[in-house]
């Protein structure tokens, strides 16, 4: 039997709009993954610490405030410093199309703007974790 994929759903920064994060958490669980949800108002340092401690395969950031680029840059840097730069990072939220290339450049494996089908999110996560 394949190993169960462990996903950390994280709400970095000060924004508290968590409908999307919670909905995706439910969808990933329905797809057979284990989900750890950080809760709101997490610093990047806190998220990296939880990812390390919980030994997750995936870090999913949910960002609605528009600050997705600075937050993701910081997360990638801090994850690298903590020696978990190999985790699959995905980002969802209010993400304008023009910002997707920059997020990809940072190493983000999946960018999921509002309205992305659950099946697409599950597929991207499975493909990346398997490849790892």
**Interface ranges with another protein (CB under 8 A):** 11, 13-19, 22-23, 25-27, 37, 39-41, 43, 65-67, 70-71, 94, 96-98, 113-115, 117-119
For another protein, give the closer residue by CB, 15 or 57.
Answer: 15
Least CB distance to another protein at residue 24 (A): 9
For another protein, give the closer residue by CB, 5 or 86.
Answer: 5
Least CB distance to another protein at residue 118 (A): 6
CA atoms 16, 81, 126, 105: torsion sign: positive
**HSE-CB of 10 using CA atoms within 13 angstroms:** 28
Where would I find the H helices in the chain? 19-30, 44-54, 68-81, 100-105, 118-131
């Amino acid at each position: 039997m394949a190993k169960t994929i462990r996903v950390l759903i994280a709400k970095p920064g000060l924004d508290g709009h968590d409908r999307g994060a919670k909905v995706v958490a439910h969808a990933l669980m329905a797809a057979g993954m284990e989900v750890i949800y950080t809760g709101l108002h997490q610093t990047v340092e806190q998220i990296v610490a939880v990812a390390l401690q919980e030994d997750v395969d995936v870090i999913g950031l949910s960002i609605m405030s528009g600050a997705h680029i600075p937050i993701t840059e910081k997360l990638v840097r801090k994850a690298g410093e903590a020696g978990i730069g190999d985790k699959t990072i995905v980002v969802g939220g209010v993400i304008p199309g023009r910002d997707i290339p920059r997020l990809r450049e940072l190493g983000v494996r999946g960018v999921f703007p509002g309205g992305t089908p659950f099946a697409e999110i599950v597929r991207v996560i499975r493909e990346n974790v398997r490849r790892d």
